[in-house]
Amino acid sequence: MSKNIQAELISIGDELLIGQVINTNSSWIAERLNDSGINVYQSVSISDNKNHILRILEETGSRSDVIIITGGLGPTKDDITKETVCEFFDSKLVFNQEAYKNVEKIFRIRGFEVSEINRKQAEVPDSCTPISNKNGTAPGMWFEKEGKIFVSLPGVPFEMKPMMDDFVIPKLLEHFKTNAIIHKTILTQGVGESHLTEIIADWENNLPENIKLAYLPQPGIVRLRLSAHGEKKDELEKKVELKIKELQQIIPDEIFGFENDTLEKIVGELLLQSGKSLSTSESCTGGTIAKMITSIPGSSNYYIGSVVAYSNGIKEKILGVKHQTLIDNGAVSEEVVKEMAIGVKSKFNTDFAIATSGIAGPGGAVEGKPVGTTWIAVASPNDCIAQKFLFGEHRGRNIRKAALAALNMLRKKLLL
C-alpha cells in the first residue's frame, strides 16, 4: 500500500542568509518531489556552522522520511557539509576512484591539472552511496539511517538539477511507494481575497477531505490552488476537475485562466482567434499595459500601438479629448477615459482600444478622488464602456492592478 512520504529541505550557506544569493533550489526541488508524490513538510536555510548542521539533521531525521541537503560541498575551508555529515553518520572519508575520474575529466575539459585541494573532492563518507556529478567536481551523497533517506547535493543549480532528475528521484521512487499528489491552480481577477472567500465558502466547505484549497493573492490577482492526495492519480484528477467545473459555475467571470496563464496571453489568444486588433491609451499606467501585451510573442499580429497621454495637452492634441470635458470632469473621470479610448481607437483604426486614467499616488488626491481612484475604458466596434476602481495607496500596486483590470475588462468584452 502506498503512503504519504514526508520530506524536508535544508539549504546550507551564509550567502543565502545575508541575501547575497537567492535560494531557487528549494522551490525547484519541492516541485520535483511533489510531482513524485512526496510531500514537502518544511524548507530551511542555515549557516555554514557545524553544530547548526548537526542539530538540524537530528531534528529533520526524527520526523521526516526524506531529507535533501544542498550546499557546502565545495573544496574550500568554508564548505564543511561533507565533514559534518560524515560525523553525523559516524563515517570516515575515503577516496573514491570513480569520483576522482569525474574530477579529472572536468579539469581536463577546462584545461587544468587537478590540484591536491581538488583531489579531495573525490573523498566521500564510507557509509554513503556516491552520486555522480556530470557537471562539477563535488559528488552527491546518499545515506540511509533508521529507515530515513538523507541526500546531500551541491548547491550550484546547474550541477544539482541533473543529479536530482537522473539519480535521486528515480531512487526515491524505488525505495518508497508513494501516494499521488496533484496541484491545480485557478487564476482569478476582479475580486479581492476576502470577498472571494465569502462567495465560494459553501463550495470550499464541501471539498472532499483529501482536497485542500489555498489562497495565493498578489496585486490584482488571486490564485486558488487545489491540492489533492490519494493512491490513484487518475481518480484524483477527475475529482479535482469536477470541483473546478463547479467553481466555474459560481465565479465564471472572475476566472481567467489556469496554472501559468497570464491575462496578456489570454487576451492575445482571443484577439488572434477573432482576427481583431487592439490599441491602448495610457495615463496612470504609463505604458505598463503596452509592455505586458508586447511581452507575448506574436503580439504584432493584433497589437497596433499605444499613446502614453500623461499630460492633458497630449490627451487633447493626440487623442482628441475635448478641452471642455477635461475642465468639467477632470482627467480622472468616466467622460475623459471614454474619449481617450475612442480617440486612440479612431487614430489607430483598431477594433478595440483600452484607456486608463487615475491617481497612482502617492500625491495627486483631490476631494472625492483619493489615491488609487482609476477609470478604465474599453472601446469596441459597438460601444465604449467604462468602470471606476479604488485600488489603494501604493503607487506600484495601483499601476499593476489597473493594468490587470483593464486587460480583464477587454477579455470579458472579447468573450461576448
Asked whether this chain's domains 180-258 and 263-415 adopt the same fold, the reply is: no
In the structure, what pLDDT confidence band is assigned to residue 111 with cuts at 50, 70 and 90? confident
Average pLDDT over residues 181-205: 95
May I ask the CATH class of domain 263-415? alpha beta
Q: Which of 76-90, 183-197, 219-233, 263-277 has the lowest mean pLDDT?
A: 76-90
Instruction: Please check the confidence at residue 128 and state whether its pLDDT lies above 50.
Output: yes
Whether the CA torsion 270, 271, 273, 276 is positive or negative: it is positive
Q: Would you state the pLDDT for residue 2? A: 56
CATH number of 5-175: 3.40.980.10
Average pLDDT over residues 208-223: 94
3 and 145 in contact (C-beta within 8 Å)?
Answer: no
Nearest-10 Cα torsion for 158, 160, 162, 167: 170
CATH number of 180-258: 3.30.70.2860
Average pLDDT over residues 84-89: 94
* Terminal CA-CA length for the chain: 50
Q: In this predicted model, what pLDDT tens digit does every residue of 281-293 receive, in sequence order?
A: 999 999 999 999 9
Q: What percent of the chain has pLDDT over 90?
A: 83
Q: In this predicted model, what pLDDT tens digit does every residue of 239-280 receive, in sequence order?
A: 999 999 999 999 999 999 999 999 999 999 999 999 999 999
Q: In this predicted model, what pLDDT tens digit does every residue of 317-355 receive, in sequence order?
A: 999 999 999 999 999 999 999 999 999 999 999 999 999
* Mean per-residue pLDDT over the chain, rounded: 94
Task: Say if strands 278-282 and 303-308 run parallel, antiparallel, or are unpaired.
Answer: parallel
Q: Would you state the pLDDT for residue 236? A: 93
Q: Would you state the pLDDT for residue 114? A: 73
The whole model's pTM is what? 0.79
Q: Which three cell numbers stand for residue 44?
A: 530551511
Q: Report the distance separating Cα 143 and Cα 234, nearest Å.
A: 33
Instruction: Please check the confidence at residue 1 and state whether its pLDDT lies above 50.
Output: no
233 and 2 in contact (C-beta within 8 Å)?
Answer: no
- Mention every residue, 6+ apart, whose C-beta is less than 8 A from residue 234: none
Instruction: Please check the confidence at residue 13 and state whether its pLDDT lies above 70.
Output: yes
Domain chopping of the chain, boundaries: 5-175, 180-258, 263-415
Q: Would you state the pLDDT for residue 89? A: 95
